[in-house]
Amino acid sequence: MLRLGFTLVVLMVSAPLWAQSEAAKRDDKPGPFGVAVVEDLRLMDKKRDKELRVRVTFPKASTPKPGSTGPAPAPHAVIVWSHGMFGSKDAYMPLVEFWASHGFVVLQTSHRDSRAHGDLSAAQAGKAWNDRPRDVTFLIDSLGEIETKVPALKGRIDKTRIGHGGHSFGAHTATLIGGVKANTFRESLSFRDKRVKCVFVCSGQGPGGLFTEKSFQSLEVPAFFLTGTKDVSPRNGHTPEWREQAFKLSPKGDKYFVSIDGAHHGFGGITGKARWAGSGPDNADEVRIVKIATLAFFEAFVRDVESAKAYLNSDAPSNAGEKTKIRYERK
């Protein structure tokens, strides 16, 4: 049994007994749905005169496989996922296909800083920070068009149940979409999209740059923050302790935090085949932990699944790894 690393910050109402028993059953097995992919859907944002190339990963059938148990039939909830700096829409398959197998429609686009658009310096890529949340909002605006262009999804997207998440620079995007304010020299900017019910912040940012300590006080939606004890930025040397500040400075209420012992910036391979300096070695157990945490969180706050909420509000996330120690907190 792993040692419990858990801090209960706010007293919470106990979940029903049936939900508590369900909480302990979570694993990283594929869900009951087959998975289909449209790899390069083109959408035109006329307001910005910008074409977005989008990857759509979704449940292949409108109902679960015969004999299986799982999420309700269509319409399916939506996850918009943002890649890290220089990444692309074609990464993170270990996570994306897992979510789709559990009944989510997953949307990814290659943001302006992606190497898919050509080589940029880190400074040039960083300037695209405010274009990223606009991409996310445009994707949500385009759900109807996506149904039209992907006939297999016609009538199968639940436009009222949407979550967003991202890794590294994508986590920066997720916090903006969730309501964290960006402070420029001239003004404080909000990119909050109220259609997004929750945000998953994987290896996110603490105070500094565009974010002050007060910026995080406006993150009122449910949020899950994840880092690792070796999650040091390959670009600027920021530490896991700095990343944890986003959780500590955010307001109380449906906020969750996991630190994976020994995890680097790549969390054992959540990006799939993509590797870079500082991403760290492959580790299937770390990938397992991220899968379980993300699915539980999106099910809890996008789908309102009671057993997922019970899982998050128990000590079970501390034991999600088979060989890996986890520190888990909530408030």
Q: pLDDT tier at 44 (50, 70, 90 boundaries)? A: very high
- Distance between CA atoms of 77 and 161, rounded to whole angstroms? 5
Instruction: Output the CA–CA distances (angstroms, integers) from residue 5 to 103, 174, 231, 316, 329, in the order listed.
Output: 31, 26, 18, 11, 8
Cis preceding-peptide flag for 75 (omega within 30 of 0): yes
Q: Would you state the structure tokens that stand for residue 223, as one six-digit string?
A: 């949020």
Three-state DSSP string of the chain: CCCCEEEECCCCCCCCHHHHHHHCCCCCCCCCCCEEEEEEEEEEECCCCEEEEEEEEEECCCCCCCCCCCCCCCCEEEEEEECCCCCCCCCCHHHHHHHHHCCCEEEEECCCCCHHHCCCCHHHHHHHHHHHHHHHHHHHHCHHHHHHHCHHHCCCEEEEEEEEEEECHHHHHHHHHHCCCEECCCCEECCCCCCEEEEEEECCCCCECCECHHHHHHCCCCEEEEEECCCCCCCCCCCHHHHHHHHHHCCCCCEEEEEECCCCCCCCCCCCCCCCCCCCCCCHHHHHHHHHHHHHHHHHHCCCCHHHHHHHCCCHHHHCCCCCCEEEEEC
Q: For the segment 217-235, what is each residue's pLDDT rounded down to a tens digit?
A: 999 999 999 999 999 987 7
Q: Which residues contact 237 (CB under 8 A, 6 or more apart)?
A: none
Residue 165 has what pLDDT?
98
Residue 65 has what pLDDT?
61
Q: For the segment 253-299, what is each residue's pLDDT rounded down to a tens digit?
A: 999 999 999 999 999 999 998 777 788 999 999 999 999 999 999 99
Residue 73 has what pLDDT?
62
pLDDT at 3 over 60: no
What is the sign of the dihedral through the CA atoms of 286, 287, 292 and 294?
positive
Residue 20 has what pLDDT?
43
pLDDT at 21 over 50: no
Residue 273 has what pLDDT?
84
- Distance between CA atoms of 79 and 180, rounded to whole angstroms? 19
Q: What average pLDDT does the structure give for the chain?
A: 89
pLDDT at 1 over 70: no
Q: For the segment 160-187, what is each residue's pLDDT rounded down to a tens digit?
A: 999 999 999 999 999 999 999 999 888 8
Residue 10 has what pLDDT?
33
Residue 330 has what pLDDT?
98
Residues 82-100, mean pLDDT to the nearest whole number: 95
* Residue scoring higher pLDDT (7 or 274): 274
Q: pLDDT tier at 240 (50, 70, 90 boundaries)? A: very high
